[in-house]
Amino acid sequence: MLSIVWLAFTALGVMLIAQATSVVQQRAFAQESADSIALAAAIGGAPAAQRLETLLAVTITELKISPDHVMVKVQSHGYIATSEATSGR
């Protein structure tokens, strides 16, 4: 009986770890996408940001571009990430 309880406890732990790992990966992808799109926008403007948005299959929910600063907000898998970049010009 104790071995059945132990197996159930172990299986539950594995499922929880797998779920947590999935959430971390999705959040990281959203942030990496926002960072990449912000840099693309700083270098190539809105067209570059939109091309990368399509390639990464994410949604840009906000994009502000000024001569020396870019702010982008991206949604992916239900997560929202924000990033900023400067053009360095």
pLDDT at 1: 74
Per-residue model confidence as pLDDT tens digits over 35-59? 999 999 999 999 999 999 999 999 9
pLDDT of residue 88: 64
Residues near 52 by Cβ (< 8 Å), separated by ≥ 6?
A: 36, 37, 40
User: Amino acid identity, residue 52?
Assistant: L
pLDDT band at 89 (very low <50, low <70, confident <90, very high): low
Query: Is the CB of residue 49 less than 8 Å from the CB of residue 64?
Result: no
Average pLDDT rounded to a whole number, residues 61-80: 95
Q: What is the mean pLDDT of residues 6-12?
A: 85
- The rounded distance, in Å, linking the Cα atoms of 59 and 72 is 10
Task: Round to whole Å and give the CA distance between 34 and 40.
Answer: 10
> What does the pLDDT look like over 15-32, one tens digit per residue?
988 888 888 999 999 999
